[in-house]
Structure 1
């Protein structure tokens, strides 16, 4: 979440600097300045953010080691890695495009920035005794980058959007030291309240898209329930027993970029919801049981 905030501020800063410099520089000078600003700002974030968080988030480092956590949290943490890598590359790609880099270079540079940023935290984890460098995490990072890059190569647009939603769960209170003691911590740590979505319109892939509103999307979701411990699917507390399980969801969503919105300010505000999944009715499949949710967050 911190990285998404920084990326938004960075993009605004880049555009502001660009607007202020137009009257004072030649076209060639502006082009060089924008390219230098894009590179230095994004690389600066990749270097400074891990250094700053290392002093606040991590304990005293030990010996570097690798840990296989591929089965932890029923894959929800891996979905989070893919989501972060996807949206970090998306923002970096926009900045490189703003800096007038070619499509090929913008995609290549933004892929590298996203991978570098995510990898830096894996390296820091490798020096922590309770964590470790995770190749499954790296594969999840790569999958997010491939999802974004692949769409840009094939269609030069996002026909499939990776989204996130959250609703507080009752399970975080059972282990608040792990799943979070307040709303902000639970938003990041309580996988029971998180859902990751792939939103798309099947008509956006066919010639019939002109006769159907492609802003109306179908959304496939993945989440977990009763997941109290990362590596175990069973947990007991007194007489209460918890059996972790995953569930798949089918819901509806809206792609505001496909709507004919003329107000530029409103369009930018609504673009936030192309990252967040809107609440809609949903069907969920869990433990071989199909359930209807009148509204799902």
Structure 2
């Protein structure tokens, strides 16, 4: 199913609200020892945003649909799995962010991973339970597996390398499909950015320097492999009341260069924080596209 818009909203609110709670300490470097004031700020902020957003989601979204007994739903074949990659990405980024703000407060590495790295999985699990009690949807084990994959990607790298050598990123371009079905794919850029899977690409970005140290490779240079899909007006390849019967659904695979903004050298903790936030988005670069319909395509600049 389509990931609820509130998940993405909470993602950005979490960044802004957490740091704005302490104007004096805003953008300062992580504490070398436990800073209880910072830790309490993080815990209170996370709890407040988490509970408030779930209450809002229940009232603004689920209230308009009939309730049901808890049930499951197999939606693994929908949207050419773009929605599943959205779950992986969201779980990874929320976990990364949760661990980073705990690091800012001086919490131990073990606690960062246990209480911060699992933030995305815990939050998305709560939403999945809501789905399970909604007649319109259902608890999806596929979504849960995707949530676990995103959390595992973050925590696994920290345990193995103590750094993120591979980063999940997102890019978006507008498509013709949203105007054909705005109720499902969004109306206007702000909605399409979240809902039109045809314009979304999810990237696994590899930092070359971290894998090949000592070879003169810039610390910030990455190569990225992306996945997208095109031609989708419905979740499945099907018509609805005789409409959308001629969909030309195509999987798309991409290769491109990228920049790991978090590895750009700077002494400014303001810039470090800004770079870390925007490192969630793939930097536009030329890209090679591979798909079954058109073979190999070259994009001068790909968003």
* TM-score in same-fold range (> 0.5): yes
The alpha-carbon distance between structure 1 residues 110 and 265, as it changes in their structure 2 partners (threshold 3 A), is: closer
- Per the TM alignment, residue 172 of structure 1 is displaced from its structure 2 partner at its CA by 1.1
The alpha-carbon distance between structure 1 residues 207 and 183, as it changes in their structure 2 partners (threshold 3 A), is: closer
- Per the TM alignment, residue 32 of structure 1 is displaced from its structure 2 partner at its CA by 3.4
Matched, 1:154 2:160: yes
Listed one character per residue, the Cα deviations across residues 193-234 of structure 1 (whole Å, up to 9, x for unaligned) are 00000111334213334x111312111000000011102267
The equivalences for 1:4-153 within 5 A come to 4-16=11-23, 31-58=35-62, 59-63=64-68, 64-153=70-159
- Per the TM alignment, residue 236 of structure 1 is displaced from its structure 2 partner at its CA by 11
Match of 1:245 among 238, 244, 250: 250
CA RMSD of aligned residues (A): 2.4
Q: Is the 8 A contact 2:198 2:231 kept in 1?
A: yes
Match of 1:24 in 2: none
Q: Secondary structure at the match of 2:17?
A: helix
Match of 2:226 among 210, 218, 221: 221
TM-score, normalising length from structure 2? 0.87
Structure number with the higher helix fraction is: 1
Cα distance in 2 between the residues matched to 1:284 and 1:124 = 37
Q: Which moved more, 1:118-127 or 1:140-149?
A: 118-127
Q: Which moved more, 1:112-121 or 1:190-199?
A: 112-121
State which structure, 1 or 2, has the greater radius of gyration over its C-alpha atoms.
1
Match of 1:25 in 2: none
- Per the TM alignment, residue 268 of structure 1 is displaced from its structure 2 partner at its CA by 3.3
Match of 2:5 in 1: none
The alpha-carbon distance between structure 1 residues 43 and 113, as it changes in their structure 2 partners (threshold 3 A), is: farther
Match of 2:296 among 271, 287, 290: 290
Q: Secondary structure at the match of 1:242?
A: coil
Q: Is the 8 A contact 2:256 2:287 kept in 1?
A: yes
- Per the TM alignment, residue 258 of structure 1 is displaced from its structure 2 partner at its CA by 2.1
- Per the TM alignment, residue 53 of structure 1 is displaced from its structure 2 partner at its CA by 1.7
Match of 2:183 among 177, 181, 186: 177
| Structure 2: tracts of 5 or more residues without a match | 1-7, 27-32
| Structure 1: tracts of 5 or more residues without a match | 20-27
